[in-house]
Chain A
């Protein structure tokens, strides 16, 4: 009976976990110390969000499920994150653009979710939104800086746009569980496009059209990248089930 809400919570949790894990790969490798700290702080916020969603999903499932079992013992096909978020970090431009696309989306979606009739979901959204506004401002500034920067930075962010744009269509194609829960993605799509247009204009970047969109992540059909992430993420718990620090 709780199926759509559990699927949706897992989708939200997986999004945050997978991007959080990707961003954490930058730990100790950021271009300068301050930005290394920024990207890992964002990673921490995202992992915090995913914990809240997993905890709530585990509570609703009301069996032996825990936040840890959801993160560490589900297989690739059970993960419902966007394809966008599992893509490799590539260079700084690609990492930034991925974060910017996602933060813009989360910012709009969570504004809608904080009014959701499910009080726990609404509370998690409201709390996360405070942090997301930082992520959005930080990543927007970086997109502008890279696009309107040097020839080198511009080429890199253009390359990132070419690589990642094809994964943005999926954000707005509702999965069955979203339709059942009445999650409204059309208005978010419009506002998201407006935000992208605004920042891309400041960054002097082109808006791509006629791109074939890749889909499948929301329903568990992933690119080969997710397997590599899970291998690293789940290694300890798979090898020593239930181990604790």
Chain B
């Protein structure tokens, strides 16, 4: 286990470590890709990681905070504060472009401004058809809607604009 030389880090290196933490529900995305990490503060008494919830009831938040703590603890950061903010409210606009590509490759249609309200025609992440239909506005997690592709006949999730 590597113990960080604490003189030798900055905001950017901390972000690099945070990028290794995956969202528990969508394990191809890091918490940085998703826009959950809002800020990293290097205070005199330790590190502060500022996070925000995607949806107010997101049950993954406690787990994400624990994951951040574990990741940074093992790198030698023990004076750690994790604070949660609610304003400004999280939006899918904060999902990075790299994150959107990862979502698509994983089989989840990324948020698309043409479908602010989930409706028929969201592009199928498997066969790129737009001959698709909305099955339900609520999917396996609050942030997704369920779709079916009428060309490749596969079901898929759409990450709703939020």
Contact = CB atoms under 8 A, between A and B. Distances in A.
Interface of A: 34-35, 37-38, 41-42, 44-49, 51-52, 119-120, 122-124, 126-128, 130-131, 134, 137-138
Contacts of B70: none
Nearest to B87: A123
B137 interface: yes
B57 A138 contact: no
Contact of B139 (A37, A48, A126): A37
B56 A38 contact: no
Contacts of B59: 44
Give the most central of B117, B135, B138: most A CB within 10 Å: B138
Contacts of B141: 41
Contacts of B135: 34
B140 interface: yes
A49 B55 CA distance: 9
Contacts, number: 64
13 contacts: A34-B146, A45-B55, A45-B57, A49-B57, A52-B56, A122-B87, A123-B89, A127-B56, A127-B87, A127-B89, A127-B90, A128-B56, A131-B56
Interface residues of B, number: 21
B127 interface: no
Interface of B: 53, 55-59, 86-87, 89-90, 117, 135-142, 146, 162
Contacts of A137: 117, 137
Contacts of B90: 127
A106 B126 CA distance: 38
Contacts of B87: 119, 122-123, 126-127
Give the most central of B58, B117, B137: most A CB within 10 Å: B137
Given A35-B136, A138-B137, A130 B89 contact: yes
Given A52-B56, A131-B55, A137-B117, A41 B138 contact: yes
B155 to A, nearest CB: 11
Nearest to B61: A48
A27 B53 CA distance: 23
Nearest to A37: B138
Contact of A46 (B57, B136, B162): B57
7 A-B pairs closest in CB distance: A48-B57, A48-B56, A123-B87, A34-B136, A44-B57, A38-B138, A127-B89
Contacts of A41: 138, 141-142
A127 B86 contact: yes
Contacts of B142: 41, 44-45, 131
A45 B137 contact: no
Contacts of B89: 123, 126-127, 130
Contacts of B146: 34
A123 B56 contact: no
Nearest to A119: B87
Given A38-B136, A41-B138, A44-B55, 7 more contacts: A34-B138, A34-B146, A37-B136, A41-B141, A44-B142, A48-B57, A126-B89
Nearest to A55: B84
A51 B58 CA distance: 11
Contacts of B117: 137
B138 A51 contact: no
Give the most central of B53, B56, B136, B140: most A CB within 10 Å: B56
B86 A52 contact: yes
B122 to A, nearest CB: 16
A45 B137 CA distance: 14
A138 B136 CA distance: 10
Contacts of B57: 44-49, 51
